[in-house]
Amino acid sequence: MKIKTKLTLALLVIALVPLLGASVASYLVARSSLKKQELNQLESLASIQKSRLESLMAQDRERLALLQSRTALRSSLRAFVQSPDPALRASLEQILVDARASSASFKKIHLLGMDGTVIASTEPTMVGTSQAGKDFFEEGKSGDSVDIFFKDEDGGLMHYLSGPLSIDNQAMGVLVVESDAGDLVALAGDYTGLGRTGETVLAKTTPQGDALYLTPLRFNRDAALELIVPRERQNVPINNALAGREQLMTEAEDYRGVPVLAATRYVEDPGWGLVVKLDASEAFSPVNNLGVFLLVLLVLVVLLVVASSLMISRAITRPIAVLTDAALSVSAGDLSRRAEVSTSDEIGALASAFNRMTDDLVEARADLERKVEERTAELELANAELEGYAHTVSHDIKGPLTAVNLAAAMLHDHIQACEVGSKHPELVESIEVVLKNTEKSFDLIDDLLALAEAGQVPADVSVVEVSQVMERILEERSRVLETKGVAVVTDPDLGRVRANPTQVYQLFSNLVGNAVKHNTNPDPRVEVSYLGDDEDGAHRYLVRDNGPGIRHEDMDRLFIPFFKGTTGETGVGLATVDKIVKVYRGTIRVYNDGGACFEFTLYDLEGGGPPRQD
């Protein structure tokens, strides 16, 4: 991630986290406070509406009681019951007409006998009809009732006021008033303090236990005595009110399925439910507006912070980017590049220090190149001297040893021919010791020459097919392999290495020869595997046998020149292997895994010869 991006993000976090925290806290506090305020208001309005409703019910009972207490009405009814005279009926009807005129809400008044037959009425067509079994009659016989509602021909809400008409504590009839329920509708339609969506609803319980709304609703004017809410919907406040639970509800839905805040009340007589509610969207609209304002503010702050951070980060990162570009150019080899020093702050000081460092680097590089040239010349001279020394040793020491070996061989043959050996066996034994040790000296001189040449970087390199090198090694050692019964298994393709062919031959020949010599398994086996190339281009190989392996205490000394271990060999072969691997900038690892394992890597060596062909 770039510094500019990191800086921008850091400034955003620094600016936004406190603002976001404060905004969320403000929103939550405001919402909680507003919710509490709205619920308090709803609770207060619910208590007021309940009191108003109880007052209206009491007034209806009082009006009914006034009618029941009329002396003329009761005496005329007793006389009519004793003697049904049409004149008495006319007198009763006139009394009822006068009573109807006493109240604007009274529409019709009927006087029923105890059998349900209409004795007198302000509606002449009702006289003589039977109302037995009707709710208002059955309720009126047992006591005063003001809570039976119905709709008139025009759809207006009405209710019956009914009660017994008694004389000397003996019920003589039932008085029934059809009264306008306008006061009740007005109570439910009073939206004072309830905003655009609040309302007061009234309902009673149906025989099935559901809620039946009694009055028109704000959002459903035809709901009176029509709209029913099943009792299973316990999140609807009216069902809680009818269950007698007076409470505040914050997670509720009204008859429309709209979330609301509500206060419930239960009117014990006549068992109605009353709910004062307000849509949650309106209740929380001020805090929602606050939320929108805070969100807009947050967006504006984000834009401002982003713009400011981009300007600040550009001012900070531009000199760094210029300095980075200069550093990349210098690291790529352009030592003439210098950083621009445009400020006097820490970045300017860094640019100045970079320029001084580059100047020092130019000077150090020139000095290094001079020392490298000198060292290269010294190494070339040392290599030439070493090569000359090796050849001198090979020629000058091998010459006398060859003469000794030849003379000893001739003497041995002569003794055998003259049959002197049978008389002097100790003489034959001494000559054989001389021959054996001169042969060992020849091997040691060859190993020393190979060791000296192994550590030199060759000038002659080419693409070497390792499989062809192994074929040559196996062909040369075929008699030994056959004699010892050694099976050598190689991968079909051992890859290619850009190297000196002789060094590759020496490397694999020494490892295979070492594996063959020290394998004491009854069924000896040697494997040469190509493990592929590493990501950095190194060619990886493994030479392993199924012999006894290498002693743990010898592991760290295997590649030390002249370390013989328990073999009695010259100890030069593995040292030669190690030097060749190092010439090719590789590594070699020794471990036991069912036998001795030599795992090593070789890198392609640049130099003379044809280019590598992939």
**Residues whose CB falls within 8 Å of the CB of residue 596, separated by 6 or more in sequence, listed in order:** 515, 518, 544, 545, 547, 549, 550, 590
Whether the model pTM is above 0.85: no
The CATH architecture that domain 70-184 belongs to is: 2-Layer Sandwich (3.30)
Q: Distance (Å, rounded) from C-alpha 477 to C-alpha 484?
A: 11
CA 14 to chain centre: 24
| CB neighbourhood size of 417 (10 A) | 9
Q: Which amino acid would we find at residue 393?
A: V
Q: Distance (Å, rounded) from C-alpha 310 to C-alpha 306?
A: 6
3-state secondary structure of 303: helix
pLDDT score recorded for residue 612: 40
**Do residues 112 and 118 touch, judged by C-beta distance below 8 A?**
yes
Q: Which amino acid would we find at residue 34?
A: L
Q: Which of 203, 153, 165 is nearest to 73 (CA)?
A: 165
Q: Would the CATH topology of 70-184 be identical to that of 459-602?
A: no
Cα–Cα–Cα angle for 208, 212, 218, rounded to 5 degrees: 160
Angle of helix 501-517 relative to helix 425-454, nearest 10 degrees? 140
Q: Which amino acid would we find at residue 559?
A: F
* Topology of domain 459-602, CATH: Heat Shock Protein 90 (3.30.565)
Angle of helix 501-517 relative to helix 466-476, nearest 10 degrees? 50
- Chunked in runs of 10, what are the mean pLDDT values of the chain (614 residues)? 73 79 86 90 94 94 92 91 90 93 92 94 93 93 92 92 90 94 93 93 94 94 93 93 93 93 93 95 88 86 80 73 77 77 73 80 80 72 58 60 70 70 68 68 55 65 94 92 93 94 91 90 95 94 93 84 59 84 93 94 70 39
**Residues whose CB falls within 8 Å of the CB of residue 320, separated by 6 or more in sequence, listed in order:** 3, 347
**577 is written with which tokens?**
């292997």
pLDDT score recorded for residue 299: 85
Q: Which of 238, 252, 230 is nearest to 203 (CA)?
A: 238
pLDDT score recorded for residue 383: 56
Q: Which amino acid would we find at residue 14?
A: I
**257 is written with which tokens?**
């399925």
DSSP state of 395: I
**120 is written with which tokens?**
């007198």
Domain limits, the chain: 70-184, 459-602
Please give the backbone phi and psi of residue 225, each rounded to the nearest 5 degrees, phi first: 60, 15
Task: Report strand pairing: 539-545 vs 272-279.
Answer: unpaired
Q: Distance (Å, rounded) from C-alpha 518 to C-alpha 509?
A: 14
**598 is written with which tokens?**
């030599």
DSSP state of 111: E
